Structure 1
Amino acid sequence: MAEKNLPETEPMEAAPPVPSASGTSEPLVQPPASATTARKGGGMMRSSAIFSGLTLVSRLAGFARDVVISAALGASAGPAADAYNTALNFPNLFRRIFAEGAFAAAFVPAYARTLQVEGEEVADKVATDALAAVAFATVLLTIVAQLTMPWLMTVINVGFLDDPARFKLAVILTQITMPYLPCMAIAALLSGVLNARGRFIVSGAYPILLNLIMLAAVIPARGDQIGAAYAASWAVLAAGVSQAGLCWWAARKAGADIRLGLPKLTPAVKAIIITAVPAAIGNSATQINVFISGNLSSFVAGGRTWLATADRLYQLPLGLVGVAIGIALLPRLSRAVASQDHEQQQASMDEALTLSMALTLPAAAALMAMPYFLIDALFTRGAFLQVDAINTARALFQFGWGVPAFVLIRILAPAFFARGDTRTPMIFALVSVVVNAALAIGLFKLGWGIAGIAAAVSGAAWTNVLLLGGALWRRGVYRPSVAALSRLARIAVAAAGLAVVVGLAAAFRSSFEAPVANLLASLGAGHGAKESALLLVTAAGGLTYLILAFATRAVTMAEVRTLIRRSR
């Protein structure tokens, strides 16, 4: 479900004086030479490009994983798919609240600030204590969840109670995947250490392990739905251990002296926890949306899988754009706030806003203009039937108009976090929960079904964006410049052109898919017509967007050359 966000992301630095690692308050000073490590990695464009490039590889591997798993498990044709999706989502719910949500959002600015002000040794001591605390908390949570899983399942999937086979399988698979939580908590914290030190390669690459390990586990089990569900669940656990190990190795190689130890409630850890509590409440509020959506979808056979499949597809732009830019933006914005560089704060936000929308709006346009074409071409095979594609496409359309909002939350929230304000985003998240709950229940009962649940998630996301943006505007913290607004309008025009092209192609799909099939048949290929047709349409839409983007000067060649130079 949407994060909803959520690397992600689906996030705090206070204005001077700020608490130091020792727990005292002191004004910020210029960083010593040893703190320059925190600045490595270049500008936000370059950092985002590195992270996005690796995320793209991960998403492509994830797409291959989803195609294989969907074909192996199906959706509405048995209990395996819904049980597996429950097992995958349950530890992720807590991961988004604690590991990659509140704790990480509080830890990254604190670590970056300490690295800048007090040096590497003190910063690594903060990281060591924080690691012990988050590992202890998530291991304890995992043990409690394992022991109470049958009772928890009656709460998180009420609809499963009418299907004993689906209920029992969901309990067992979720118990297998639950230890993924502490592994991801450790990986997320170490990834934050790497990001604060300007190292984005491993933090962008480690999710690839999950996809590769799951592919290796599921491919041999195809043909056996239950066996494939077990294989995928065990692969989640194996991947979590591998990801934590990779991030540990990378952090040590980057020079971070972080060790495992017993949890200690040091002043620095207390400060991080205090900062994280409002964000945890806010993230919990977001995950209540996930809980409501999951419970409603559990009443429809295949509903969880339809929703999860649509969710994964729209998460592609969120992961590539929102998470990547948000990760690169937060440390940069935190340093600008610490140094009271208002010009840099404005420039960072404008750059993040226009860059994210230049990549997000065309993706949202495509998801809304050809949802069934996308789902049918990508997933309809094996046990994933046409009825599954139709219902998934309906949900995808509703998620599509929420995609810009999901990304904007990732851009606007760091403006609060960089100033140590986690309370305001928490309040706004709670409001969005009420909106989501009312819309989801109302639309579901009105007969919208799974599509109504997706529409509620998008509506709640836009509510959150309007509240965040309005607060920043009223406080004078951030108001998009005239140049940024002008560029956004031109980007929207280019995205609309893409929507027209791919929408017409989807409407007249059969007229050009048949010639593609004939061409492939003449070359000896009996399959791949719909996939090839989708590639052609996607390429045509992308080319249309680029032409219009350059024609309207939403993007200029000078900026492209600048990006290339900065990347080098």
Structure 2
Amino acid sequence: MIRSSAIYSGLTLVSRLMGFVRDLVISYFLGASSNIAADALNTAQMFPNLFRRIFAEGAFAAAFVPAYSKSLDRDGPEIADRLAGDAMATIAAFTVALTLVAQLAMPWLMMAISPGFGFGTEKYKLAVILTQITMPYLPCMAIVALLSGVLNARGKFIVAGAAPILLNLVTLIAVIPSHGARQAAVAVSWGIFAAGICQVLLLVWAVRKAGATIQWRLPRLTPEIKGLIALAVPGAIAASASQINITVSGILASQVNGARTWLAYADRLYQLPLGLVGVAIGVALLPRLSRAVVAEDRRDAQTAMDQAIVFALALSLPAAAALFSIPYFLIDGLFTRGEFTAFDARATADALMQYGWGTPAFVLARILSPAFFARGDTKGPMRFALISVAANIVLGLALFPVFGVAGLAAATSAASWLNVLQMTVVLGRRGDYAPSPAAWGKIVRVLAASVALGLILAALSHWRPAIEAPILALGL
């Protein structure tokens, strides 16, 4: 499982590094508070991403992968591939219809997701246009998510992990020749659309190369598909709690010029450990855990969860220590140039610090969810997610007027820890999972080392001018 996670994480790292390069170029052109195109573009990326994680990635992580894995083991590849074909036709038809409705209703939807932009303003008009360009990315990603599930269930992780690289590569190629903020924003939006098509073509080739035969067909509501839908709807909500919370924060942040962009760039940094650790381990864990549950092998299920939890915290806790201790150092070093000012860096760093202490919760939610999904329980995590979203809304409304954008980030982190706490308590109460004494010992040692790391980084950041003074005096 760790080997599979390492493959996925390595490719995700390449994608994230390319994503940072892309973000550096975009922030240079657009800045944050100084240009309306920055918030408009981040809105255009947020809207399809929300639906992608709710209806595509979340749904299939929760329902399709366990069902396909079980069908492969029980019925053989032909029956399993037929299930995948029906599922692909269903999700493609649904997301295409959703995209068409969203395109037509975008002028009104924009007021719902970005009320602070103001109806009829230049920022509002640009956000509508850019979001209409990026919305077709949704059905592309729905197909990619399903085909990635097919590959993951067959133990093939390389191409599915590499697919996001195309998004960063294509959008980077699109934005580099731009002249001016508005042109750059439009170029990135068209790049997202083109990247979705490229990713679909790559995954179609990879699935055929892996020996799977997924036929394109008209959607059919077979009993198996109805069962998948019954699992997928609550599973999608459960798996997308963090994204829903981020979207809620974005709605409130639309009241402040540049705030949505500040949150977006802070999101980029804490998404790095989430993508490299949480998503990667969750992707590798779900098929293994599903097989262990079907075989009623409690020992293997316990071992898999212990390995996943310890490995995830061993990587995410040090990352959280850095994000919480030196947020301004990170944001200033990465983004302050061109149109992205020191004021933008400070506001983004305030949000990043609050996301920092929530990072382990974002990762743990990705690890604990498969323990429910592998047992066919998607309604439990859905309830936890809805409680988490409600808490995020209440805390966001309470903290935003006092602490601004940093308050929204703090609300999201607190809501994520509430989500993790609920899952942990229920898994332990049911007897499905609780960390073993050996796992607890490793977790405590990692936590102690991470706290020490955070204190050292905070001290270095505090005395940074004194440390740098001799170096600057030498002209180095």
The reply on whether 1:425 has 2:381 as its aligned counterpart is: yes
Q: Could you tell me which residue of structure 1 aligns to residue 151 of structure 2?
A: 194
State how 1:42-191 maps to structure 2 within 5 Å.
Answer: 44-161=1-118, 164-191=121-148
CA distance in 2, matches of 1:513, 1:82: 35
1:177–1:233 CA contact under 8 A, matched in 2: yes
- 1:43-81 Cα shifts (integer Å, max 9, x gaps): x11001111111111111111111111111100001100
Q: Could you tell me which residue of structure 2 aligns to residue 209 of structure 1?
A: 166
Q: Could you tell me which residue of structure 2 aligns to residue 489 of structure 1?
A: 444
- The Cα of 1:282 is off from its aligned counterpart by 3.4
CA distance in 2, matches of 1:392, 1:381: 14
Q: Could you tell me which residue of structure 1 aligns to residue 348 of structure 2?
A: 392
| Pairing partner for 1:274 from 230, 254, 264 | 230
Q: Which amino acid aligns with 1:431?
A: I
More helix by share: 2
**Which runs of 5 or more residues in structure 1 are unaligned?**
1-43, 523-568
- 1:84-123 Cα shifts (integer Å, max 9, x gaps): 0000110000001110012342101101110011111111
Poorly superposed stretches of 4+, deviation over 6 Å:
none
2:237–2:382 CA contact under 8 A, matched in 1: yes
State how 1:323-338 maps to structure 2 within 5 Å.
Answer: 323-338=279-294
CA distance in 2, matches of 1:294, 1:217: 26
SS of the residue corresponding to residue 220 of structure 1 reads coil
SS of the residue corresponding to residue 414 of structure 1 reads helix
Give me the CA root mean square deviation. Answer: 1.4
CA distance in 1, matches of 2:328, 2:269: 12
2:95–2:142 CA contact under 8 A, matched in 1: yes
CA distance in 2, matches of 1:408, 1:229: 34
- 1:171-198 Cα shifts (integer Å, max 9, x gaps): 0000000000000000110000000000
CA distance in 1, matches of 2:99, 2:215: 22
CA distance in 2, matches of 1:280, 1:489: 32
The reply on whether 1:379 has 2:346 as its aligned counterpart is: no
| Pairing partner for 1:255 from 187, 211, 220 | 211
Q: Which amino acid aligns with 1:474?
A: R
State how 1:228-247 maps to structure 2 within 5 Å.
Answer: 228-247=184-203
CA distance in 2, matches of 1:60, 1:301: 28
The reply on whether 1:347 has 2:303 as its aligned counterpart is: yes
Q: Could you tell me which residue of structure 2 aligns to residue 360 of structure 1?
A: 316
- The Cα of 1:517 is off from its aligned counterpart by 5.8
State how 1:525-536 maps to structure 2 within 5 Å.
Answer: none
Query: Measured at CA, do residues 208 and 288 of structure 1 come closer, stay the same or move farther in structure 2, by a change above 3 Å?
Result: closer
CA distance in 1, matches of 2:28, 2:48: 24
CA distance in 1, matches of 2:248, 2:448: 36
1:279–1:426 CA contact under 8 A, matched in 2: yes
The reply on whether 1:475 has 2:434 as its aligned counterpart is: no
2:50–2:244 CA contact under 8 A, matched in 1: no
- The Cα of 1:461 is off from its aligned counterpart by 0.2
Question: What is the number of residues matched between the two proteins?
Answer: 476
- 1:315-351 Cα shifts (integer Å, max 9, x gaps): 0000000000000000000000000000001100100
Query: Measured at CA, do residues 284 and 512 of structure 1 come closer, stay the same or move farther in structure 2, by a change above 3 Å?
Result: closer
- The Cα of 1:499 is off from its aligned counterpart by 1.2
Q: Could you tell me which residue of structure 2 aligns to residue 453 of structure 1?
A: 408
- The Cα of 1:506 is off from its aligned counterpart by 1.3
1:81–1:302 CA contact under 8 A, matched in 2: yes
Query: Measured at CA, do residues 226 and 513 of structure 1 come closer, stay the same or move farther in structure 2, by a change above 3 Å?
Result: farther
- The Cα of 1:469 is off from its aligned counterpart by 0.1
| Pairing partner for 2:276 from 317, 320, 342 | 320
- 1:184-213 Cα shifts (integer Å, max 9, x gaps): 000110000000000000011110011111
- The Cα of 1:515 is off from its aligned counterpart by 5.5
1:103–1:273 CA contact under 8 A, matched in 2: no
1:138–1:185 CA contact under 8 A, matched in 2: yes
SS of the residue corresponding to residue 60 of structure 1 reads helix
Q: Could you tell me which residue of structure 2 aligns to residue 546 of structure 1?
A: none
Query: Measured at CA, do residues 518 and 121 of structure 1 come closer, stay the same or move farther in structure 2, by a change above 3 Å?
Result: farther
Query: Measured at CA, do residues 141 and 120 of structure 1 come closer, stay the same or move farther in structure 2, by a change above 3 Å?
Result: same
1:98–1:104 CA contact under 8 A, matched in 2: no
CA distance in 2, matches of 1:307, 1:111: 37
Q: Could you tell me which residue of structure 2 aligns to residue 531 of structure 1?
A: none
CA distance in 1, matches of 2:449, 2:144: 38
1:286–1:430 CA contact under 8 A, matched in 2: no
- 1:154-178 Cα shifts (integer Å, max 9, x gaps): 1110000167010000000000000
Query: Measured at CA, do residues 511 and 217 of structure 1 come closer, stay the same or move farther in structure 2, by a change above 3 Å?
Result: farther
Query: Measured at CA, do residues 498 and 419 of structure 1 come closer, stay the same or move farther in structure 2, by a change above 3 Å?
Result: same
Q: Which amino acid aligns with 1:460?
A: A
CA distance in 2, matches of 1:385, 1:88: 22
- The Cα of 1:285 is off from its aligned counterpart by 5.7
2:242–2:416 CA contact under 8 A, matched in 1: no
- Comparing 94-103 with 380-389, which one deviates more in the overlay? 94-103
2:282–2:367 CA contact under 8 A, matched in 1: yes
CA distance in 1, matches of 2:420, 2:362: 8
TM-score by length of 2: 0.98
- The Cα of 1:426 is off from its aligned counterpart by 0.6
Q: Percent identity?
A: 62
CA distance in 2, matches of 1:494, 1:354: 14
Q: Could you tell me which residue of structure 2 aligns to residue 442 of structure 1?
A: 398
2:58–2:237 CA contact under 8 A, matched in 1: no
1:74–1:383 CA contact under 8 A, matched in 2: yes
Q: Which amino acid aligns with 1:329?
A: L
- Comparing 282-291 with 407-416, which one deviates more in the overlay? 282-291
- The Cα of 1:287 is off from its aligned counterpart by 4.7
CA distance in 2, matches of 1:188, 1:251: 12
CA distance in 2, matches of 1:516, 1:242: 48
- The Cα of 1:503 is off from its aligned counterpart by 1.4
Q: Which amino acid aligns with 1:114?
A: S
- The Cα of 1:514 is off from its aligned counterpart by 5.2
**Which runs of 5 or more residues in structure 2 are unaligned?**
none
- The Cα of 1:277 is off from its aligned counterpart by 2.0
- The Cα of 1:288 is off from its aligned counterpart by 4.2
CA distance in 1, matches of 2:378, 2:300: 22
